[in-house]
């Protein structure tokens, strides 16, 4: 049986977790638990993936906080992070929707064997609405939850 990498944490500053990569199914390649990116961010767990990026839970060694790092494929553009930067820098500080837009804490490019990968760092407190819906018992939101989501969306795009 192959050895397994197990990562766990139970310090008072963070919730306990244990991550065990799935052998031949989940190949983490360059970004596996414990790897440090740009001498600052230590990879903890894969949060998700899409066609043009993979998002990782990392610990920022400077702030000792958890962050999310989105690593784009070599074919991806920086349009998403450019839009987030624009919205963060051109919204009034007191605008109620400002908190609904994730602010970019850092951005950099990783140079790898498959090309240059645009990356950006945000806070981890974000949720994909479709994922939350899929996780609910009947795949629909209760009325109060739906109203709250709609209000947050309206604030964000106002």
DSSP annotation string for 80-121? HHHHHHHHHHHS-TT-GGGGGSPPP-EEEEEEETTEEEEEEE
Helix boundaries (H) for the chain: 79-90, 129-135, 143-157
| Feature table: binding site | 70
- Rounded Cα distance between 60 and 66, Å, is 6
Query: Residue 149 in 3-state DSSP?
Result: helix
Residues that constitute the known binding site for ATP? 70
């Amino acid at each position: 049986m192959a050895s397994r990498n197990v990562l766990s944490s139970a310090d008072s500053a963070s919730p306990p977790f244990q991550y065990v990569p799935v052998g031949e199914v989940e190949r983490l390649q360059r970004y596996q638990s414990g790897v440090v990116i740009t001498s600052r961010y230590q990879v903890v767990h894969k949060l998700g993936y899409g066609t043009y990026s993979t998002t990782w839970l990392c610990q920022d060694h400077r702030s000792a906080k958890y962050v999310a790092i989105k690593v784009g494929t070599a074919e991806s553009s920086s349009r998403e992070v450019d839009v987030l930067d624009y919205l963060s820098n051109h919204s009034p500080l007191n605008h109620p929707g400002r908190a609904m837009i994730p602010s970019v804490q850092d951005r950099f490019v990783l140079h790898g064997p498959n090309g240059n990968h645009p990356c950006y760092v945000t806070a981890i407190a974000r949720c994909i609405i479709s994922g939350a819906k899929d996780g609910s018992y009947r795949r629909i939101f209760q009325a109060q939850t739906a109203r709250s989501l709609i209000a947050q969306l309206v604030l964000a795009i106002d």
